[in-house]
């Protein structure tokens, strides 16, 4: 924050880490950056996610700073990233409901096959009224994957939206992507030109990774429920989608899952802001979520 009380966001270093990503190695890199700018005495709170290596980083950094007469303490100055904590909690809820995203290539393979995905009701969690949770979302993802795989279905859906005066929102998939190693990306950058590499990385790898987060599930449910009248018309008249027709119970289940995730979406949005301080909001939102659930 400057003298005019305006928050400042400055990148001090973007360092390549050589060797193993150990806490000690990370701490050395952070300490070198602090001493480079001669600001180690001004170090305050460090915000990071819950990776265990970050705890080791702070422990090693405390030793280095204490050795040089600085009073920085890990227990007082290491802050957990609350949006990351909320992400873990939301992912756990989806996992318990068996509503988490599935592997991208498996779903696309099913979408291209002639057979319709058979929904099994065995070992599925049940809601209070006896309706299963997972099949509704699995059918919804199946519908989305088929629409995305077919330009014709996409155009038909757009016409249906126009007929009933709905905005033809783009439907997304919240699919996980199988692990892509950093070494693969490194060798890819050596083989491809810079333009092609960054185009693939930005438009395929980064986008595919980001949709594995829970909030992409919230987004597809929000859009799917908005487009419900058009989706129902589409599944009614398109034979290849007829066996995936969502029942009233299915729609209610999708709406319930969206309502659960809405609390996390709202909290994450406010706690991820960069234009105003968010530390003072952590406990109120934490208490709000505890009361809600």
pTM of the model: 0.64
List, in sequence order, every residue forming a beta bridge with 137; answer none if it has no partner.
none
Residue 252, phi then psi, degrees to nearest 5: -65, -40
pLDDT in tens, the chain (293 residues): 788 888 888 889 988 888 888 999 999 999 999 999 999 898 988 988 888 899 999 999 999 999 888 889 999 999 888 888 888 888 888 887 776 655 444 444 444 444 333 333 334 444 434 444 578 888 888 888 888 888 899 899 999 999 999 998 887 776 554 444 444 444 444 454 444 444 444 444 333 333 346 778 888 899 999 999 999 999 988 888 888 899 999 999 999 989 988 989 889 888 888 778 888 888 898 888 888 87
Cα 261 from Cα 106, distance rounded (Å): 25
DSSP reduced 3-state for 47: strand
219 and 254 Cβ atoms separated by less than 8 Å: no
Alpha carbons within 13 A on the beta-carbon side of 74: 14
Look up residue 265 and give its two tokens: 């979406």
* Closest listed residue to residue 94, CA positions, set 264, 246, 247: 264
């Amino acid at each position: 924050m400057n003298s005019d009380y305006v928050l400042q966001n400055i990148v001090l270093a973007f360092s390549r880490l050589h060797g193993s990503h150990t806490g000690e190695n990370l701490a050395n890199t952070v300490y070198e950056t602090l001493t480079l700018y001669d600001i180690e005495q001004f170090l305050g709170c460090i915000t990071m996610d819950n990776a265990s290596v970050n705890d080791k980083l702070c422990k090693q950094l405390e030793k280095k700073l204490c050795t040089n007469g600085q009073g920085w303490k890990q227990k007082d100055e290491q802050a957990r990233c609350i949006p990351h904590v909320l992400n873990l909690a939301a992912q756990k809820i989806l996992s318990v409901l068996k509503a988490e995203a599935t592997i991208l290539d498996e779903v696309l393979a099913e979408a291209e096959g002639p057979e319709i995905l058979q929904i099994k009701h065995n070992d599925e969690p049940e809601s209070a009224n006896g309706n299963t949770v997972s099949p509704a979302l699995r059918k919804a993802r199946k519908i989305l994957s088929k629409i995305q795989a077919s330009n014709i279905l996409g155009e038909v859906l757009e016409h249906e939206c126009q007929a009933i005066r709905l905005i033809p929102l783009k439907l997304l998939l919240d699919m996980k992507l199988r692990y892509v190693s950093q070494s693969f990306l490194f060798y890819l950058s050596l083989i491809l030109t810079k333009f092609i590499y960054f185009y693939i990385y930005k438009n395929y790898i980064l986008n595919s990774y980001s949709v594995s987060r829970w909030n992409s599930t919230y987004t597809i449910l929000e859009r799917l429920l908005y487009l419900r009248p058009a989706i129902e018309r589409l599944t009614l008249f398109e034979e290849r989608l007829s066996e995936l027709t969502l029942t009233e119970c299915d729609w209610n289940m999708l709406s319930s899952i969206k309502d659960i995730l809405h609390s996390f979406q709202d909290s994450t949005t406010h706690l991820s802001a960069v234009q105003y301080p968010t530390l003072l909001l952590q406990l109120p939102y934490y208490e709000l979520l505890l009361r809600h659930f």
